[in-house]
Amino acid sequence: MTTRLAAPARARLVRGRSGERRPAYDPDSLLDVAVTVFNERGYDGTSMEQLARMAGISKSSIYHHVAGKEALLRVALDRALDALFAVCEEPGSTTGPAIDRLRYVIHRSIEVLDQELPYVTLLLRVRGNTPTELAALERRRAFDRFVAKLVARAAEDGDLRAELDPALATRLIFGMINSIAEWYHPGGELSVKELADGVVNLVLGESHQPG
């Protein structure tokens, strides 16, 4: 399945809603294209030439919008990481019993996956080949540590069904959550709520999220 992106028309002048002409490409729409192609072919497997073809502009035009290929990657990865860390700041993640916080973070993480799927998918595939990728991996590890603490506290409270080492449980649970990016399609038959409830049900033995 090769996604066909912007027809050349998209790169040309477009009529705005009041009829004015405006440039078709801002950095954001270019980012959308780039992330889609990166996810399809892998970051290293994508050339600027391919990127340009999919965006419907020439290779050199891309450099008018962004500093280079790695800058595109950095912005994309930060978008995913910012969304994940925002969840950690929400009241549901910082107040109440650890097991409830954990359920909340699992639910919200899956919602972030739904809302920012291409960006999170890209993040999950980063290997650490460049400074940009290493920085992203370090931020991702910080998120993992936040969740691991919740799991450990829920285990101390005796609220985890499975008798599992908390660190192992964290890895397995978030391994499951992250794997969703490989097949989930937002807006499809399976709703985010069904999906999140299913995961919580499977790993924590509860059917519904309170609230």
Partner DNA sequence: GTCTATAAATTGATAGAC
Partner DNA sequence: GTCTATCAATTTATAGAC
- Mask for 95-134, x = binds its own copies (CB under 8 A): ------------------------------x-x-x-----
H helix count then E strand count, the chain: 11, 2
Which of the listed partners (DNA, its own copies, none) does 47 bind, with a CB threshold of 5 to 8 Å by partner kind?
DNA
Cα torsion at 199, 202, 208, 211 (round to 10°)? -50
Contact predicate 57/25, CB 8 Å: yes
Residue 60 sits in the site that holds DNA (CB under 7 A): yes
Residue 63 CA from chain centroid, whole number: 25
Contact predicate 117/184, CB 8 Å: yes
Residue 209 sits in the site that holds DNA (CB under 7 A): no
Nearest approach, Cβ of 180 to its own copies (angstroms)?
7
DSSP letter for each residue of 62-124 = HHHHSS-HHHHHHHHHHHHHHHHHHHHHSHHHHSS-HHHHHHHHHHHHHHHHHHTHHHHHHHH
Residue 129 sits in the site that holds DNA (CB under 7 A): no
Sign of CA dihedral 105, 175, 81, 55: negative
Which of the listed partners (its own copies, DNA, none) does 29 bind, with a CB threshold of 5 to 8 Å by partner kind?
none
- Within residues 43-72, the interface with its own copies by CB under 8 A covers 44-45
Which of the listed partners (DNA, its own copies, none) does 26 bind, with a CB threshold of 5 to 8 Å by partner kind?
DNA
Nearest approach, Cβ of 179 to its own copies (angstroms)?
3
Q: In a 3-state reduction of DSSP, which class is residue 185?
A: coil
Query: Of these, 54, 98, 105, 199, which contacts its own copies (CB under 8 A)?
Result: 199
- Write out the residues near its own copies by the rule CB under 8 A: 40-42, 44-45, 125, 127, 129, 161-165, 168-169, 171-176, 178-180, 182-183, 190, 195, 198-199, 201-203, 205, 207
